[in-house]
Structures are given as C-alpha cells and as structure tokens.
A and B are shown apart, each in its own frame.
Chain A
Amino acid sequence: DARVTQTPRHKVTEMGQEVTMRCQPILGHNTVFWYRQTMMQGLELLAYFRNRAPLDDSGMPKDRFSAEMPDATLATLKIQPSEPRDSAVYFCASAPWEGNIQYFGAGTRLSVL
C-alpha cells in the first residue's frame, strides 16, 4: 500500500533554530506539494514541484523557508531561523501527474517555543 512518508511526525524546537522536514513521495509520482495548516489560515500551499523542479513557491516566506527535491525520493522543507509563528502542521503530498488526486502524508507537527 503506497503512501507518502513524512519525518519527523513531531518537532519541538526553540526560536532561532533550524528545522528540516522530510518527505518521501510515492514512487512514480511526478508532482510534490508542501502545505502548512493552521487554525487561523487553514491549508496554505507553500511550494509545488514537477519532476523535481520548483514551479510555484509564492506562498512561502522566502527569507526563512526553502524547499528542495535533491532526488525523486526525497523532498525537504527547511526553516532557518524558526519563529513561534511557524508553529503549525506541515503536510507533504504527491500526485501521479498534475491536476490529479493528491496523496497526503500524515504531517509534521512543529512547535517553535
């Protein structure tokens, strides 16, 4: 049963620290998304990759956030330095092709103290 795997599931860190979240998309999926979910803002699209190339990261604060796909089996989202307002659940999703069903990971719950 193929699934999107995210690590870590939970992360507690102090303000100013670097945070790295990882995602293993489903093998063969060519599209990968990063989302942030909060009670106030709902689900926000942060970044979007097609065949490992970034297509849209307009939803991401560029000064502290960065997203990459070093290879087809790994996507990363980094925050440096982290701030308390970054506390949220971060989801990765992959899709077999654009416009199609997205398969979500279980999320990384980030708390920045």
Chain B
Amino acid sequence: GDSVTQMEGPVTLSEEAFLTINCTYTATGYPSLFWYVQYPGEGLQLLLKATKADDKGSNKGFEATYRKETTSFHLEKGSVQVSDSAVYFCALSDLTGGSYIPTFGRGTSLIVHP
C-alpha cells in the first residue's frame, strides 16, 4: 500500500533559521501531495499542495516541490518565526480501487525559539 515517511522530530530551531522537513512517499498511482500544519489544540489545516511532477506549492513563505524521480516532497522555509511552531504533516492522495485514499505521515514537530 501507499506510505509517507517524514523525518522524526522534534526539530528545534532559532528564529530566522532555515527549515527543511524531509518527506518521501511510495504510491502505486500518481498521487497529489500535501503539507498540512496542526497548531496546538486545533485540527489540521492545509499549508500547500502539488498535483503533478515538478509543481511547486507555496504558502506563507513555505515551499515544497513534487519530485517524482526521488519520490519526495520536502518542506522548506527560508526564515522561520516563533509562530511557525506546530506539527507538520506530509500527506498524499492516491487513486486506489476506485477511491482516493488519503495517507498521512506521522508528523514532525517544529519548535522555534526566539
């Protein structure tokens, strides 16, 4: 079946540092890829997405590029802020047996210190 592997956290950074959270996937089809963010006490919310190879999703300074050759969708941000502290989930949606089954990674906790 499909799977998503994220780097384990927590990732601890100082404000204005560069962020990379690695995500790789396995899929039987040609999935759409997503990054979601979860702030404490809240549900997940979409951060960005990409639907085909070489697409770059971007939002709020975060970026990720759909790399089919390496089956990766790494999340990056050039300068993190304390307010970026949250849990980040990489996810895919793949057509399986006539339905689009979503698959989420385990999540990576990001802690940004002032």
Contact = CB atoms under 8 A, between A and B. Distances in A.
Decide if the interface of chain A is mainly helix, strand, loop or mixed.
Answer: strand
A12 interface: no
A101 B34 contact: yes
Interface residues of B, number: 21
A104 B102 contact: no
Contacts of B106: 42-43
Contact of B102 (A4, A33, A50, A103): A33
Given A42-B107, A43-B89, A43-B107, A91 B44 contact: yes
- Which of B41, B43, B45, B105 has the largest count of A CB atoms less than 10 A from its CB? B43
B104 A98 contact: no
Given A43-B89, A45-B102, A48-B101, A99 B44 contact: no
For A33, A101, A106, the residue with the greatest tally of chain B CB atoms inside 10 Å of its CB is A101
Contacts of A104: 36, 43-45
Interface string A93-113: 100001111111111000000
A42 B3 CA distance: 13
B102 A91 contact: no
